[in-house]
Amino acid sequence: MRAYYYDNVPGDQRLPHDYIPSKPVFTETLISLGVKYWTIPVEGHESKVDAVAQEQGYKNRDTINVSKEGLGAVYEEKIKGFFQEHMHEDEEIRYILGGSGFFDVRETPSDAWIRLAVEPGDLLVIPAGIYHRFTLDEANNIKALRLFKDEPKWIPHNRSSETDINTHRIDYLKSIGVTA
């Protein structure tokens, strides 16, 4: 996984949107935001992903293929929805099996976007309450294993004055040392 500050230049969301020269984001910054990641080679990944799942308390999983073929008629709608700035009341855990894409997370308190370029072998945990979004890159395809603490669910709460006071958002801010 490569992490860097998003350039905020208008244009296709699927482009890298990297500054020239790049402004990398270091592991310490991601840790301070509660973002976790591991690199686990796809070949033979099962036992290592199972170990992380057990250690983190993830009991359920499914696989998603985000592509025109995988999502069919709802593809365009889903891609637009994934790129809307939102938060979840649960962690978002993704292990990339194939393809590639971008997760953008909001740095707090600066409110800058940090782009996380993911590819096969990346296991990413985005904490509950952090504002983020997702998009494919120009290859238009990603296959990911989704891990869940409880029953599989993916409920986005688009950023608003209501999400700013959501208990999970407030708890997230406290966990990174920011008072709401």
Q: How many structural domains is the chain composed of?
A: 1
- Predicted model pTM: 0.95
Written as one letter, the residue type at 50 is D
- Specify if 153 maps to a domain: yes
Annotated binding site for Fe(2+): 86, 88, 92, 132
Instruction: Provide CB contacts within 8 A for 1, sequence distance 6+.
Output: 37, 39, 116, 117, 118, 119, 122, 124
Annotated binding site: 86, 88, 92, 132
- Specify if 180 maps to a domain: no
Annotated binding site for Ni(2+): 86, 88, 92, 132
Domain boundaries, position 58: 2-175
- Specify if 118 maps to a domain: yes
pLDDT of amino acid 114? 98
- CATH of residue 151: 2.60.120.10
For residue 155, give the nearest of 166, 144, 165 by alpha carbon: 166
pLDDT in tens, the chain (180 residues): 999 999 999 999 999 999 999 999 999 999 999 999 999 999 999 999 999 999 999 999 999 999 999 999 999 999 999 999 999 999 999 999 999 999 999 999 999 999 999 999 999 999 999 999 999 999 999 999 999 988 777 789 999 999 999 999 999 999 999 975
- Specify if 121 maps to a domain: yes
Q: What is the CA radius of gyration of the chain?
A: 16
